[in-house]
Amino acid sequence: MRLDRLPTPALVLDFGRLRANCARMTAAVAGRGVRLRPHLKTAKSIDVARVALEGNFGGITVSTLNEAEYFAGHGITDILYAVGITPDKLDRVAALQRLGVRVTLVVDDPGVAAAVAERGAQLDTVFHVMVEVDPGEARGGVAWKSDALIAIGRALDEGDGTELAGVMAHAGHSYAARDLASVAAVAEDERRQAVGAAERLRAAGLPCPEVSVGSTPTALHAESADGLTEVRAGVYMLGDLFQAQIGSCAIDDLAVGVLATVIGHRRDKGTILIDAGALALSKDRSTAGMPLDAGFGLVAPAAGGAPIPGLTVDRVFQEHGLIRSADGAPPFDALPIGSRVRVLPNHVCMTAAMYDRYHLVDEAGPDPLAVADVWDRTNGWGPVAV
Amino acid sequence: MRLDRLPTPALVLDFGRLRANCARMTAAVAGRGVRLRPHLKTAKSIDVARVALEGNFGGITVSTLNEAEYFAGHGITDILYAVGITPDKLDRVAALQRLGVRVTLVVDDPGVAAAVAERGAQLDTVFHVMVEVDPGEARGGVAWKSDALIAIGRALDEGDGTELAGVMAHAGHSYAARDLASVAAVAEDERRQAVGAAERLRAAGLPCPEVSVGSTPTALHAESADGLTEVRAGVYMLGDLFQAQIGSCAIDDLAVGVLATVIGHRRDKGTILIDAGALALSKDRSTAGMPLDAGFGLVAPAAGGAPIPGLTVDRVFQEHGLIRSADGAPPFDALPIGSRVRVLPNHVCMTAAMYDRYHLVDEAGPDPLAVADVWDRTNGWGPVAV
């Protein structure tokens, strides 16, 4: 199969770019002497995970139990589920543990910590649980200086069905940074608060074996990892236009695009229609208000390479996208009806989630249009048989 | 299974509301003496299609070939694929026709019309093709007064592999109307342009058996159907907060919600965390700037019923949603960690697309938390074996 024959819209993944992105992050984190625990919430693919795990210790991060079950089913045995656990989800976790998978959970509430401990004892298992620390994102987590930190740590340590596994922080507010110095400052803040939380737990006589932090920007641009044991990051594997604008990658590093077919020309309106709309691209507008507002995506040749200057997907309907040109004159003749383009996404986590597979290409290979392989993805939240 | 045990996030569909929504549209369109061809791009489910087809002639509309194949595989034999066709998709269409399914296509370009005719002849089939007319949305289509209308019609009529099936228009710009008088005006404009196109084709000696128009707002609120043969609409089956704001339904008509679990309390920030974020709800913000800006959704009790006053999903991360209250004091005690809510979506087409099944409930039944049935959905663009 080749890209000029593949049914569209379809998700395309450049293998060389993926490998380079993974190698760059692995080297950055290894250079600071800590372990990288790749976050698979973006890629959701065992094949991508294998590339990301090259040179690393083998543990991963996930954002859903669906992902945990999928990756466990493919042989991954050390999984951090980095979203606050609630007791109703513990039966699925216990089922994975019975298969020999070490699943680490996070909590940010003393009552939940006690409930997890109680449920672990009922299920005759021990849940490995970290305390989630909020380094400033204002999502989940407790303040590193809070009484709740110690109360949760103690509940986990004392509970029959839990083991205190450490502390975990995610500086998602690094996405608001607009230069690398600001990213580095957020990274240092993330590190200091996580290490501060770990020191407070230890001073209270509690164990804190793991100190886990991370986001793609802070993982790449942190200046120190003192006191940390591991770093988590995920979107770096694929990259997107938002990450390119905040300095996590170059546009030429973006590994994923949506292959689309030109289905119409509106010369009267200055628009080229493609068969990739809101479902194929997502409605993420995270580049809105940034120096390069990409609309719903930049438009590159089907064979890959640099985006075509001035072209964006300006508007989306459920299954239609409208390409416009900054100069008002899109290249109708160069993009006839039936021809194909590759749309680079604002936010690859959202875009890739609409597809159940990647089509592997290699722009550096002998035929950039050749699909060398098809890699599956998991999506959704439903249980996966392990 | 009951909603208090179902893994979350999960898609919940109220059967009574679905049935009432479908009956209302069926009656509205039948009252004008034309046929309703339900659009299944929103529901993407054969079970929902069966409810929507009650009292109607049996034909449907789809937005992808994946949907066409899925519905054909479930016995639907009259399918309009309402996105401009390109020749590369014709092999899949021909395969459906060989199984006895009548697939109607749309084109808006004379060159494509000729190419479809040529490919039909090569494949030894006849494609049924409508001319797409743009009634003002500025997506696809030709102007009803254009020369292109006649040129396309003639190419389809004269081609060995095509049959001119009529004209088709979609007044998607009805979504910009903010009162029912404006919707009715858009509907009348849609009708007049479609009928005008049909009359021009007939005056040129060409056949025009079908005159097809529609969108949920215009299908509900049109005053006349003179000259039309069929009306298409889809989102009315499920309803959403955007449609409620433009007068297509009441909030109490919304049939779909996302069941989510409370996973955290941030009393310091005034937020309640749920396990439904950007993937579970979509990033659609179509109620932004409307009288009721619902953020990423309104929050109703898990058992259904009216939304809890003042609560919205104010912010989303990939797998986290943050609920805030208009008064700054969300009901922490009424929504403890581990409890559940049902989030009503801005744009159900986007939200439902993240799920592979509906969990059927009935708020009017003896147990509103009971899941009476599970209905599957199709998603994506890949071929479905028929």
Q: Is residue A346 a contact partner of residue A286, using CB atoms and an 8 Å limit?
A: yes
Do residues B177 and B300 both lie within one domain? no
How high is the pLDDT of residue B102?
98
Residue B280 belongs to domain spanning: 249-376
Q: What is the pLDDT of residues A55-93, one digit of tens each?
A: 999 999 999 999 999 999 999 999 999 999 999 999 999
Contacts of A317 in chain B (CB under 8 A): 139, 172
User: Residue A80 has what pLDDT?
Assistant: 98
- On whether residue B10 sits in a domain, the answer given is no
pLDDT at residue A363, rounded to an integer: 94
Give yes or no: residues B222 and B283 share one domain.
no
* Average pLDDT score over residue span A7-17: 98
Same domain, yes or no: B144 and B212: yes
Flag whether A182 is in a domain: yes
pLDDT in tens, B124-155: 999 999 999 999 999 999 999 999 999 999 99
Question: What average pLDDT score do residues A35-46 get?
Answer: 98
Task: Report the complex ipTM.
Answer: 0.97
| A89 shares a domain with A123 | yes
Put simply, whether A318 touches B (Cβ < 8 Å) is yes
Q: Is residue A288 part of a domain?
A: yes
Same domain, B127 and B272: no
B3 found inside a domain:
no
Region B190-205: what's the mean pLDDT? 98
When pLDDT is averaged across residues A185-203 and rounded to a whole number, the result is: 97
| Domain presence at residue B4 | no
Mean pLDDT of chain B, nearest integer: 97
pLDDT at site B386: 83
Final residue in a domain of this structure, among B233, B263, B285: B233
Q: Is the pLDDT of residue B82 over 90?
A: yes
**Rounded mean pLDDT, B186-193:** 97
Residue A42 is predicted with a pLDDT of 98
Same domain, B61 and B87: yes
Following DSSP, what letter does each residue of A84-120 receive, concatenated? ---GGGHHHHHHHHHTT-EEEEEE--HHHHHHHHHHH
Q: How many domains does chain A have?
A: 2
Residue A3 within a domain: no
- pLDDT of A192 reads 98
Are A71 and A106 within one domain?
A: yes
The torsion angle over the Cα atoms of residues A226, A230, A231 and A237, rounded to 10 degrees, is: 140
Same domain, B213 and B353: no
**Does A197 lie in the same domain as A285?**
no
A382 in any annotated domain? no
Final residue in a domain of this structure, among A186, A211, A237: A237
- Between positions 327 and 386 of B, the ones with CB within 8 A of A are 337-338, 349-350, 353-357, 379-383
Q: What is the CATH number of the domain that holds B262?
A: 2.40.37.20
Q: Among A237, A257, A291, give the residue marking a domain's end.
A: A237
Q: Pick from B318, B320, B354: which is nearest to A349 by CB?
A: B318
Tell me: pLDDT of A386 over 90. Answer: no
* Tens-place pLDDT, residues B250-266: 999 999 999 999 999 99
User: Is pLDDT above 90 for B245?
Assistant: yes
Q: Which of residues 176-205 of A touch B (CB under 8 A)?
A: none
pLDDT tens digit sequence for B22-57: 999 999 999 999 999 999 999 999 999 999 999 999
**Which residues of B fall within a CB distance of 8 Å from A285?**
283
A59 and A132 within one domain: yes
Q: Are residues A136 and A36 in the same domain?
A: yes
Q: Does A65 touch chain B (CB under 8 A)?
A: yes
pLDDT tens digits along A199-230? 999 999 999 999 999 999 999 999 999 999 99
The pTM of this model reads 0.97
- Does the structure show a pLDDT above 90 at A385? no
Are A67 and A214 found together in one domain?
Answer: yes
The pLDDT score that the predictor gives to residue A38 is 98
Q: What is the CATH number of the domain that holds B82?
A: 3.20.20.10
Examine residue A4 and state whether it is found in any structural domain, yes or no.
no
Interval A95-143: pLDDT, tens: 999 999 999 999 999 999 999 999 999 999 999 999 999 999 999 999 9
Contact A275 B172 (CB under 8 A): no
